[in-house]
Structures are given as C-alpha cells and as structure tokens.
Structure 1
Amino acid sequence: MELVYVISGLAVGFTVGLTGVGGGSLMTPILLWLGINPATAVGTDLLYAAITKAGGVVVHQRNRNIDWKVTGLLASGSLPAALLTVLALHILKPDVAILNAIITHALGFALLLTASAIIFKKRLMALIQKHAGHWLNLPAAKLGKATVLTGIALGIIVTLSSIGAGALGTLALFLLYPLLPTSRLVGTEIAHAVPLTAIAGLGHAGLGHVDWWTLVSLLTGSLPGIWLGSHLTHHAPDRILRPCLAVMLAMVGGKLIM
C-alpha cells in the first residue's frame, strides 16, 4: 500500500470533515499531481466519493435530514445524464490524449465553479433568503422541472470531472429551495451524490479508468481523516479555511484550463 496515497486520503478526508467541501475538488488534482492520468484519476475519485459519502447517508437518514422527494427529482436528471455520458465515452472511444484533454478541461471548469460557489456562497444565500418569496410563488411543476434540469447538469459535470456533487450540488439546492433547513440541504445533497458518483464511477471502471489499489489506499487514510475533521469542525476558523480552499481550487482550475 502506497503511503503517499494513504496520507493524501487522510489530508482530503480531514479537509472534508473540517469544511464540508473539497472532496473531489482536492482529490482529483492530487491524483493528477501524483502522476495518475486524468481519466483514471476521475474514475478512482468517483468511487472514492461514493464510498466515503455512503456513511453520511445513514447518519443523515437517522436524523431525518434527507428530503427524498428532492433527491428523486435530482436523480431523475443526473443518473440518466451520467449513464448517457459514460455511454457516449464507450461508443465514441476517443483517443486517450483527446479524452484526457476533455476531462482536464472539464475538471478545470468544475474547479472554478466550485471555487466561486465557496467564495460567494454566503452572499448568494443572503440574497436568496431576502427574495425567497419569489421562489415560493414558483409553481411546483416548474420547480420540479428546474430540479431535474439541475440534476442533468450535475450528472454531466460530475461524470466528466468527478467534481461538483458537493459544493455545486448544495449551492444548487439552496438556489432552488431557499427555505429548506441547511441540515436537510446537506443531507439531501449527500443522498443524491452517492448513487450519482457510484454510477459514474462504475461506468469509468468499465472503461478501465479505476486504479483499485490506489482506491483502497485512499480510503484507508480518508475514513479516519473525515472522523477527525468532523470532530474539530466547530473549532476551525471557517472565515480563513474556506477562502484559502477556494483560492487554491481556482488556481488549479485555471492552470488546467490554460
């Protein structure tokens, strides 16, 4: 077992537990930096995310923090989108260099979106809460369609980059359901992220884009890291941690795109 992967998993798990964001946003760039090709990095990280977040579903369900109706609407868009994206990769069978270029640019784009979501999340939340009445007047049918369309976008982004199910998913839910309690937003996002990342990850595995030994090493470090970070989250200077994380993600994202 490679110690460097165990340590990487520990560091990312600790960050996720501490800040609530940064799983795929940190893990995939780290895997790239360690020399793993983009396609394999994305596939490995998707299954890593599915396994690490599965435990969160159990906890949030016990606390009744999951809105299964909203989860179902998101999944009705994201899961078919993920399957179709993987199917397109299977059918087209692009050149490895071309595929890596596509994934690298998708990864950079997703990182920039995630960084923006982290930086402006509080401002967006304050703005939406101020004008929440307008959203409450939106017909249920239109709100449902908007949720499904959001799921489609997340399905494509997450399948190509392994990023977005966390920060972008939570922010999207808040934009659509501004009066939903934060605990239910987080629980619903996690419940949606598990099947999405699992399906996308298994699709990449079918393409040979998963390094199973690396996955085991990452999980060995990340599970205790998440536990430790979660217990220290109330003592962390959030106003410092989140901007630093966002700046780092933006720098990596910009470099990947350029």
Structure 2
Amino acid sequence: MFKTGLFIALFTLVSSLSYAASEASAKTQETTPNEISQKPLIERYILDELKSTRHDLQDLERRLIIEITDRELSVADKSLGYAEQTVNYFFYIIAGVASLVALFGWKSLHEIRVNTTKKANTQIKQIAESYEQKFKTLETDLRRKTRRISDNHIEIEKINEIHNYWLRAQKSQTPEQKMEAYDAILQIRPGDLEALTSKADAAMELKEFHWALSICNRVLDMDNTNQDAFYQRACAYACLGVEDQAIDDLEKAIDGRSALRELAADEADFENLRGNESFDTLLTSTD
C-alpha cells in the first residue's frame, strides 16, 4: 500500500512537470533572448527539486519501514512475554495440584474418584438420616395432635351429652327423674362433683337421708373444701337429728360461701335446728 501511494505521488509530480514543459515549448516562438538564456537554469532547478523530492520520499519510506518493523517486533515481544507467563502459570498450577495430591495422599485419579464417592455417599447418608429423623418426629407430632383432636372431639361429645342431661334434670318434675339424669351424667363422668352433690339433693327430696349422707362423704373425700357437699351433709345430719354435726358442717359451708347463710335461713331441712342457739347465732352472724 505504501509503494502504491509513492508511485501515485511520483506520477502526479511527473505529470505536472510534463505539463509545465509543454506549456514552455508552446511559448518558445514568443520567447525573448533573455528567456532563452534563462532556460538552462529552470531545467536545473526542476531537476534539483525532483532529486530532493526523491530523496525525501526514500527517507520517508525508510522511516516508515523502520517504524512498522519496530512495532511488529514490539508486538511479537509482548506476545512472547504473555506466552511465557501463561506457560509459567500453567506449570505453577500443575505444581500446586501435584502438591495437593501429595498432601492428601491421593496417589491416582482412581483414589480421587473413590474418596470423592465415599465422601458423597457419607454426606448423602447423613442427610437421609437427618431427614428420616425429622420425618419420624413430624409423624409422631402428627399422631399426637391427631390423638389430641380425637380426644377433644370425644370430650366435646361428652360435654354436649352431659349438658343435655343437665337440661333434662332441670325440667324433671320428680326426684326420681332427676336421679336418673344425674346417674347418666355420672356414668359418662364418674368423678363429677357437681352431679354428685345434685344427686345428694335429690336423695334428700326422696327422704333418703343416709344415702344423701353417703354421697356427701364421697364428695368430701375427693374435695374436702366443697361447700355444696358440706351444706347437703348438714341438711342430712339435721334431718337425722345430729344437730352438732349439722351446725358444724353448715358453719364450714357458710365460711366458704357466705351466700349460703340466706339459703339456710329458708331451708326446710333445718327446721329441727331452729331455736338452737348456735344455729341462730350462725344465721345472724355478719362475719
């Protein structure tokens, strides 16, 4: 490409000179003696300019060749440097890998594969055991919650059934019907203290004082602070004529619940106690 440009420049210069020479020859007939005498000087000047231009072009070509050569050498030198560094780094990596292999005692690729497989299997086994334990815990928790839900469902059914029996007892007209309702409640929930004290009250209505006394004793064996049981037993003792014990139980009942004092004032079962100084004092006391 450089030589082509140089050729074009020379061709342009020669064409210009030829055109100038033709112009000069066209005016030869009109030249004066002075112009004829100056013609060799012009030709000499033109030749010197051509020679100078040729030298400049040669110098330019030489400088360009030197510069291009230097750049190519620089690029080649950098490429060789990069290649050398790459090879060095590659050998460093190989040496590092070889050192690691020697450090961990892996003598071959087969041992690497075996050890890797063994470690992978161990980790997979540990993960599987961990998830298996979690699943067992989850299963146990689900079973416990399912059992709790089932128990709650059964308890709700019992509560609904007991509630129905309480409604039946409230609507019953005779003590016998009430007794049947209370027995049904106790069959569902044997330790229901409220049902037992209500049953004792029904026994009192049936004039079964000893039976009522037995039921109250059973309640107090389970809860020795039950005011309803003390009150019902006081009624039973009063009907049986055991006044001191009746007053003692009534006092315990009123100490636990003062509202029972007003109920005792109108209680028909305490008719035998009226006129008893201790009984009257207990009813009129404001403690």
Greater relative contact order, per chain length (Cα 8 Å cut-off, separation 6+): 1
The structure having more radius of gyration, on CA atoms, is 2
Q: TM-score range with shorter-chain normalisation?
A: under 0.3
